[in-house]
Structure 1
Amino acid sequence: MADHALPYDTPEEWPVTATETPFSGKVTGVRTDVVRMPDGSTARRDYQTHPGSVAVVALDDEERVLVLRQYRHPVRHRLWELPAGLLDVPGEHPLRAAQRELYEEAHLKADDWRVLVDIYSTPGGSDEAIRVYLARGLAPAEGERFEAAEEEAEFEFDRVPVAELVGQVLAGELHNACLAVGVLALQAVLTGDGPDALRPADAPWPARPFQP
């Protein structure tokens, strides 16, 4: 038993005295807020506005994780990643978005879904919230394969043992945030209370509230 209070994040909102949107793109934008600090001073904060994202740690019966590699132009790298995507369909449940991404990117479905971890990707510069799901009981999806385009047309796929991915993350060989957080969380789950102790797939998500 811990001899001190466990840390946890708490919601808080400092007053915004002025705001503007210097850029608004198709999905994301840039907002500038003038924030009043507790001492009464003000500061400008520029950040990316983002609809949120979901990612999927798809774990097969041999404890291998499905990963895919694609080119990411902003960092000039071809990165190994998890199936993932934006919450860019109005009103879509995040679980449905995750199931859609697993189907579109890997042509797979899963029988068992759990919430693995919720994160803010870069809270100092973006309001993006990401929910990472654990998907088990994998099987080929029915119907036609989704027709990929642009960077997604160049996907490469692999299934890698959890322990190997953890080693590559710690060695600095894998850099995608969702992949790193997802496989490290999965390792903790597999060596701890097990996947059945995770939150259900429809667990509340205060960062991106949704209708059950």
Structure 2
Amino acid sequence: MTEHPRDILADSAQNWPVAATTTPFTGNKTSVRADDVMMPDGSTARRDYQVHPGSVAVLALDERDRVVVIEQYRHPVRHKLWEIPAGLLDVPGENPLHAAQRELYEEAHTKAEDWRVLADVYTSPGGSDEAVRVFLARELSQAEGERFEVVAEEADMRLDRVPVQDLVRGVLAGRLHNTCLAVGVLALQAARAGDGVDALRPADAPWPARPFPA
């Protein structure tokens, strides 16, 4: 087993040759691609996966150490899930911080003054190219103006603020399952136990998975 120093252990970008590709399905926001990928041994393997524009999520933390959470119905898993505000990167090359600020306003009618990056993750790299940036937002206040009008399943959303420790316990007990919520609260706890929240990357840190203009 190879030992890796903690400060250089990192995922590496690779781009194996594709002998053929098709797009058997194109939806409103995502599509499905089928690639015939050349393996290192010279063989070819079919890989079907979702092509996704990318997403952002916001762990919004108030002065009482509570997180802004939303309960929303998710049809593919037939559950109402407790989540943190999140949304798609609808515009190619969109600044993820601007998208996160928009989602926090639209879903929670909230704004924040302090923004940092908690984590960058691929949600399901075996079946999708979706990349998500999870932000930490602090110094919260109510957004100005009228609330954003929601439709469809979003009209049934329930908004709350829950202590960080309650969310951590819920994740570890198997009661809370949303990826961004789990990554967000556990990353926050790890940051607090390590170098501290102020050592987190700035909100405009580079994001190779979804590059954006400086």
Return the TM-score normalized by structure 2: 0.96
Show the 5 A alignment for 1:127-166: 127-166=129-168
Moved more, 151-160 or 186-195: 186-195
Structure 1 residue 29 and structure 2 residue 35: aligned? no
List alignment gaps of at least 5 residues for structure 1: none
Q: In structure 2, what is the equivalent of residue 109 of structure 1?
A: 111
Task: Say if 2:93 and 2:210, in contact at 8 Å, map to a contact too.
Answer: no
Letter of the 2:161 partner, please give it.
R
Partner-residue secondary structure (3-state), 2:76? helix
Show the 5 A alignment for 1:171-186: 171-186=173-188
Q: In structure 2, what is the equivalent of residue 199 of structure 1?
A: 201
Q: Deviations over 1:140-173 (max 9, x none)?
A: 0011110011111111111111111111100000
Q: Distance in 2 between matches of 1:115 and 1:194?
A: 13
Task: Say if 2:106 and 2:147, in contact at 8 Å, map to a contact too.
Answer: yes
Q: Distance in 1 between matches of 2:174 and 2:95?
A: 34
For this pair of structures, how many residues does the alignment match? 210
Q: 1:41 aligns with which of 35, 39, 43?
A: 43
List alignment gaps of at least 5 residues for structure 2: none
Q: Deviations over 1:48-89 (max 9, x none)?
A: 000000000000011111111010000000000000000012
Q: In structure 2, what is the equivalent of residue 120 of structure 1?
A: 122
Q: Distance in 1 between matches of 2:192 and 2:134?
A: 16
Letter of the 1:24 partner, please give it.
T
Letter of the 2:5 partner, please give it.
A
Structure 1 residue 68 and structure 2 residue 70: aligned? yes
Q: Distance in 1 between matches of 2:92 and 2:186?
A: 31
Moved more, 82-91 or 15-24: 82-91
Q: Distance in 2 between matches of 1:149 and 1:62?
A: 31
Q: In structure 2, what is the equivalent of residue 9 of structure 1?
A: 11
Partner-residue secondary structure (3-state), 1:174? coil
Identity fraction in percent? 71
Q: Distance in 2 between matches of 1:39 and 1:65?
A: 48
Letter of the 1:188 partner, please give it.
A
Letter of the 1:68 partner, please give it.
I
Q: 2:191 aligns with which of 189, 192, 206?
A: 189
1:4 deviates by 4.2
Structure 1 residue 19 and structure 2 residue 18: aligned? no
Q: Deviations over 1:78-107 (max 9, x none)?
A: 000000000012442110000000000000
Structure 1 residue 80 and structure 2 residue 90: aligned? no
Task: Say if 2:171 and 2:177, in contact at 8 Å, map to a contact too.
Answer: yes
Partner-residue secondary structure (3-state), 2:161? strand
Partner-residue secondary structure (3-state), 2:190? helix
Partner-residue secondary structure (3-state), 2:176? coil
Partner-residue secondary structure (3-state), 2:155? helix
Q: Distance in 1 between matches of 2:63 and 2:167?
A: 16
